[in-house]
Amino acid sequence: MLAQDRNSTVYDRLWNPKEYLSHYYSTAYVADDDAAIYEHLISFLKQENRTFAKIIDFGCGPTPHHIFPLIPYLEELHFADYVPENLQEISNWLEGNSSAHNWDMWIEYILKKEGFDSVTSKDIEHRKKLVREKSTAFKLGDLRKSHPLNDDSVYDLVLSFFCAEAATNSKQEWYKYMSNLFNLVKPEGKVFIVANAHAQHYDIGKKKFPEANVTKEDFYSIFTDSKFAFDSVEVEEIPIAEWADSGLKAIIIAKARAI
């Protein structure tokens, strides 16, 4: 179990899961960054053409939605985050608690991408049931630790969306956090990382949170310096206009296979 000093970062002092959900996940449509992420996840799954035994979404925040397309292709799913209230939000959603965020629109979007002509509430409930059945652990994690879960666990696929670069303003610390994250990857396991690029901060209402101003080149160099197969590294930058008022301009989607 990870020991936490709940006063050491901006996430201890300022973070509120409901405020985050209301700022970034209350659009009437699936936002451009998530649409781009879903496209990449779907083509990644096609390319892989397999089932993963154990997957983690590290730095999930209060959001379960990135794993919706992956659910049919995994046996066991773990969620991890630094903030316990974020994990509680996801549990509330899985338990069908009425105060939980409504992710039906994201599930419907994915089911349509999978070929459903029209999506019924029964179809949505079925995907939710799969998430519930396959989510076997909710873990506290801290990228500042060399094994961020402090339990020696490793995964066939490590997913992380907008986490390490949002945990620090320092490029040097980002580099360390990413190499710590990579300690969660099994030999020959995969990583699928999404990050905000060229950002100095991101906003939630009037509150400002860190960004490490990372670039594609930073990703290439961290993968080259770490234990990844050179020919497996794919890094793409995609401009995103949607969140310009919140300090964000573009996302990086990066994939690689560990040696």
CB 82, min distance to ligand SAM, A: 4
- Note whether 210 binds ligand SAM by CB under 6 A: no
Amino acid occupying residue 257: R
Q: Which of 41, 52, 55, 59 binds ligand SAM (CB under 6 A)?
A: 59
Mark 69-88 with x for binding to ligand SAM (rule: CB under 6 A) and - for no binding: ------------xxx--x--
Long-range contacts, 213-221 (Cβ 8 Å, 24+): 213/165, 213/169, 213/171, 214/165, 214/171, 214/174, 214/252, 215/252, 216/252, 218/171, 218/174, 218/175, 219/193, 219/195, 219/252, 219/254
- Note whether 60 binds ligand SAM by CB under 6 A: yes
CB 166, min distance to ligand SAM, A: 4
d(CA 168, CA 217): 18
CB 22, min distance to ligand SAM, A: 12
Residue nearest to ligand SAM (CB): 61
CB 220, min distance to ligand SAM, A: 22
d(CA 9, CA 113): 38
* Closer of 180 and 226 to ligand SAM (Cβ): 180
The radius of gyration of the chain from alpha carbons, rounded to an integer in Å, stands at 17
d(CA 42, CA 103): 18
Name the one range near ligand SAM by CB under 6 A: 41-49, 53-61, 182-190, 243-251: 53-61
12: left (phi over 0), alpha (psi -120 to 50) or beta: alpha
Amino acid occupying residue 62: P
- Note whether 248 binds ligand SAM by CB under 6 A: no
* Closer of 251 and 256 to ligand SAM (Cβ): 251
* Closer of 63 and 226 to ligand SAM (Cβ): 63
Q: Which of 161, 182, 219, 223 binds ligand SAM (CB under 6 A)?
A: 161
- Note whether 90 binds ligand SAM by CB under 6 A: no
Write the DSSP assignment of 115-143 as a string of letters: T-SS--HHHHHHHHHHHHHHEEEEEE--T
**In this structure, are residues 77 and 67 in contact, taking their beta carbons and an 8 Å threshold?**
yes
* Closer of 83 and 235 to ligand SAM (Cβ): 83
**In this structure, are residues 71 and 127 in contact, taking their beta carbons and an 8 Å threshold?**
yes
What residues make contact with ligand SAM under the rule CB under 6 A?
Answer: 9, 11, 59-61, 63, 81-83, 86, 141-144, 161-163, 166-167
